[in-house]
Amino acid sequence: MAPKIVIVGAGFAGMWAALSASRKLSLAGKTDGSVEIILVAPEPTLYIRPRLYETDLSTASAPLTDLLAAATVQYVQGTVQQIGVERKILEYVSSDGITSTLAFDRLILASGSKLFRPEVVAGIVEYSFDADQMENALKLDAHLESLAALPDTPARNTIVVCGGGFTGTEIAAEMPRRMRGILGQGADVKVIVLERNDNIDFMGHKSSPIVMEALISLGIEVQASQSVASIDAEGVTTVSGTHIPSKTVIWTAGLRASALTAQIPAERDELGRLFVTQNLQVVGVDHVYATGDTAHVTADDEGHLTVMSCQHAMYLGKSVGNNAMADLLGLPQMPYSQPIYATCLALGPWGALFTLGWDREVHLVKEEGYKMKTYINTQVIYPPPPNRAEALAAADPRVQAALQLIA
């Protein structure tokens, strides 16, 4: 039987791992089916997770069936439940409940991450909303639409966002406009962001004043040093005893790597990510690779760790697919490296903030930042396509300059 590379997950890292492995196989002149590439995931769909804060989710996903077929990647529908590392066999369950097994010679774990919901927060599972996965974002959207049928009360009109990080800020900034679109332009909408840290640090000291300026202009209230004790159907209660009436409490505080990482007999970090070499092989388990949000690895020579983002997942996926296939074919591997780091934070009607570097040097704000955010969310393909010059020529001059720095 032909050796198999099995990829778990169809997110950015998993998709790019499959395509990169196929490319490496083709470049090696192995077009005779000498190696099988198999991708296992619940759906053959790429959900564009960074866009789930948006109001319209109709374009926040992309089908992968034709793309995988064109790359000669076999798609297997299922959710992986068990990984037998020593036996090189995994167990998955299909959508109709049938359990099957799949053998592998190289395993690429690209199963991503999930929102962290601490058990100490009473009611967090029953009463909070989030936009972590597509199904959760759709549930939140349906809930928001249902608010129009409720009596006009402060609880109905108040949104509480728990967590002042990147995701929480993007969701909060969109909520005033989103709520008034549902309740009416004259609705007395209130959006509150609760952050447990004493000092709210929005993307670093260079960016924080700009983000705070944007949130204030949108009428959003930010409260520091506010840890959440409990959530119920009528609102949220902080550790200090303050109760905020709200029908909509949105949890955004932190991510954890896929639980499947715990089935790999190797060291993990505090976020559950597996320690890997720069070739993305799990340390001590050479036939297993981890990528995307499941990998603990440095992005550059300065020691910056990758973050749980599609920006890093795409390049990690390209690298791991190439290396797993090279390993199987006995060819040299290429260490992962991604020295350019950029962020683009959506800030509702105010616009967006685009920064470059780990110190987050501000490059574009407001309308120019929004153009960049739109470009990244809807047009950017990595690696850049051949016609990228045309896209640059059509862009705003300052956007052109920033894009040149990313490439």
Specify the CATH number for 4-115+255-329; select among 3.30.930.10, 3.50.50.60, 3.40.710.10, 3.40.50.970: 3.50.50.60
Q: To 10 degrees, the CA torsion angle through 96, 97, 100, 104? A: 80
Domain boundaries, the chain: 4-115+255-329, 124-251, 342-406
At 386 the pLDDT is 44
CA distance 219 to 211: 13
**Confidence at residue 284, expressed as pLDDT on a 0 to 100 scale:** 97
Report pLDDT for 391: 54
Taking residues 178-199, what's their average pLDDT? 94
DSSP state of 16: H
**Predicted confidence (pLDDT) per residue in 16-29, tens digit:** 999 999 999 999 99
Say which residues have a Cβ less than 8 Å from residue 382's Cβ, sequence separation at least 6.
16, 314, 315, 318
CATH number for domain 124-251, candidates 3.20.20.80, 3.40.50.620, 3.40.50.10490, 3.50.50.60? 3.50.50.60
Q: Which residues contact 253 (CB under 8 A, 6 or more apart)?
A: 116, 162, 163, 165, 168, 196
Model pLDDT, residue 403: 59
pLDDT computed for residue 405 by the predictor: 53
What percentage of the chain has pLDDT greater than the value 90?
83
Residue 31 is predicted with a pLDDT of: 75
Q: Do the domains spanning 4-115+255-329 and 124-251 agree at the CATH topology level?
A: yes
Position 402 scores a pLDDT of 57
User: How confident is the model at residue 399, as a pLDDT?
Assistant: 55
Give pLDDT tens digits for 341-356: 989 999 999 999 999 8
3-state secondary structure of 122: strand
Residue 213 has pLDDT above 90, yes or no: yes
pLDDT digits (tens, 9 = 90+) for 58-81: 999 999 999 999 999 999 999 999
**Mean per-residue pLDDT, 209-235:** 95
Identify which has the larger pLDDT, 123 or 374. Answer: 123
List the Cα angle 284/326/92 in 5-degree steps.
65
Contacts of 347 (CB under 8 A, 6+ apart): 169, 170, 173, 211, 214, 215, 218, 353, 369
Say how far apart CA 145 and CA 167 lie, in whole Å: 21
Question: What pLDDT, on a 0 to 100 scale, did the predictor assign at position 407?
Answer: 52
* Closest to 279 (Cα-Cα) out of 294, 262, 297: 297
Q: Identify the helix (H) or strand (E) that includes residue 74.
A: strand 74-77
* CA–CA distance, 173 with 162 (Å, rounded to integer): 13
pLDDT at 303: 96
Angle, alpha carbons 101-103-108 (nearest 5°): 105
Helix ranges (H only) for 128-191 are 134-146, 154-157, 166-183
Q: How far apart are CA 221 and CA 241, in angstroms?
A: 18
C-alpha angle with apex 86: 313 to 36, nearest 5 degrees?
Answer: 55
The mean per-residue pLDDT over the stretch 290-314 comes to 96
* Per-residue model confidence (pLDDT) at position 385: 44
Confidence of residue 375 (pLDDT cuts 50, 70, 90): confident
407 against 354, higher pLDDT: 354
Could you give the CA distance from residue 166 to residue 355 in angstroms, rounded to a whole number?
Answer: 13
- Whether 383 has a pLDDT exceeding 50, the answer reads no
Residue type, 242: T
pLDDT digits 0-9 by tens, 137-168: 999 999 999 999 999 999 999 999 999 999 99
Return mean pLDDT, the chain.
Answer: 92
Strands (E), 240-341: 243-245, 248-251, 255-257, 274-275, 281-282, 285-290, 295-296
Is residue 194 scored above 50 in pLDDT? Answer: yes
Q: Which residue has the higher pLDDT, 205 or 223?
A: 223
Q: What is the pLDDT of residue 381?
A: 47
| Residue position matching structure tokens 């199904």 | 135
